[in-house]
Amino acid sequence: MTRQKRVILEVLRGTKSHPTADWIYEQAKKMIPDLSLGTVYRNLNLLKEMGEIMELNYGSTFSRFDGNPHNHYHFQCRQCGRVFDLDLPIQNKLEKETAEVSGHRIDNHRLEFYGVCRECQASEPKN
Amino acid sequence: MTRQKRVILEVLRGTKSHPTADWIYEQAKKMIPDLSLGTVYRNLNLLKEMGEIMELNYGSTFSRFDGNPHNHYHFQCRQCGRVFDLDLPIQNKLEKETAEVSGHRIDNHRLEFYGVCRECQASEPKN
DNA sequence: ATATCTGCAAATGGTTTGCGGAGGA
DNA sequence: TCCTCCGCAAACCATTTGCAGATAT
């Protein structure tokens, strides 16, 4: 556990914003000024393998990262782009059902919702 | 509707394999030898906007495409990498429940399962 | 001591785009 | 005709990687 890895994990654990690698890099640089972006990517991959963080890589050309390693679901606003955590309970029933019907062994699943977040709805024109 | 777009759509409709842009390019080139890869990407994006196809872009550095534009779920084998369609009914209840709890407006959702497919299980060593 | 990690900078690779010419409606 | 699309090749850009020196244990 190097200083770089520790700081990167702290930055990610300290936000609920599901940031990009570049945002994490900018924040961590405040603690380690000569940090390099390559090191951020390397450590994000290591932390992912260690099961400490999650990578959210869907519907975009770049990844976001999540400091909460326990499976949970996300909502992405297609207007402001932000990603929110959801409180929906994990649907293990679906895994079991799918395994039975398909014959595949299922280890995990991902569920994401898309739409317009509460705040963006409020600032939309009221037609 | 140009010849290129028509052939690209036919190739994608004619397979259940959820291919990459490059695979589609190779297949379509059999019909249009001087087709260019840029044209394949441009038409895949157009067909996506038209609602004729879907892009599957998760857990990978490249996209796969699906000629079935109606929402359905997928299973990806982490051993052979193949993507399979699932017969699981669409869980509209989850959208409604999530909208009520979170206050966001939800338009659609995506659900993917990961594990080891039936065939890869059969060829695994029996420890 | 030594295996691992770092900063740097160049490479990678899927995807996008600017251009001038061709083709569909 | 006119607008859209094409092939080509270069550009883009998030991510990865080779290297030589530094650091963790």
> Which of A68, A103, A118 is the last residue before a domain boundary?
A68
A64, A3: one domain: yes
Q: Is the CB of B38 under 7 A from strand D?
A: yes
Quick one: A40 and A56 in the same domain? yes
Residues A75 and A99 in one domain: yes
Is residue A102 within 8 A of residue B120, CB to CB? The reply is no
Is A80 in the same domain as A61?
A: no
What is this structure's pTM?
0.92
Q: What is the CATH number of the domain that holds B19?
A: 1.10.10.10
Could you tell me the residue range of the domain that residue B28 belongs to? 1-68
- Cα A81 from Cα B75, distance rounded (Å): 26
| β-strands B54-56, A74-77 pairing | unpaired
Task: Examine the domain organization and report whether B91 and B42 are in the same domain.
Answer: no
Claim to verify: residue A5 and residue A60 sit in the same structural domain: yes
What 8-state DSSP symbol labels residue A43?
A: H
Of the candidates A34, A49, A68, which is a domain's last residue?
A: A68
Pair B97, B56 in one domain: no
Task: Give the residue with minimal CA–C1' separation from D7.
Answer: B36
Structure tokens at B114: 């990961």
Domain boundary among B53, B68, B83: B68
| β-pairing verdict for A64-66 and B105-116 | unpaired
Cα–Cα distance between A42 and A55 in angstroms, integer?
13
pLDDT in tens, chain A (127 residues): 899 999 999 999 999 999 999 999 999 999 999 999 999 999 999 999 999 999 999 888 999 999 999 999 999 998 898 999 999 999 999 999 999 999 999 999 999 999 999 999 988 655 4
A71 CA vs C2 C1’ separation (Å): 38
Interface list for chain B against chain A, based on CB atoms closer than 8 Å: 57-60, 73, 75, 77-78, 84, 86-88, 91, 94-95, 97-99, 101-118, 121
Q: Which residue type does A82 have?
A: R
- CATH number for the domain spanning A80: value is 3.30.1490.190
The spacing between the Cα labelled CA in A41 and the C1' in D16, in angstroms, equals 9
Do residue A35 and residue A1 come from a single domain?
Answer: yes
Residues A97 and A41 in one domain: no
Q: 3-class SS at B74? A: strand
Interface test with A, best of B90, B111, B112, B121 (most A CBs within 10 A): B111
Round and report the angstrom distance from CA (A63) to C1' (D14).
9
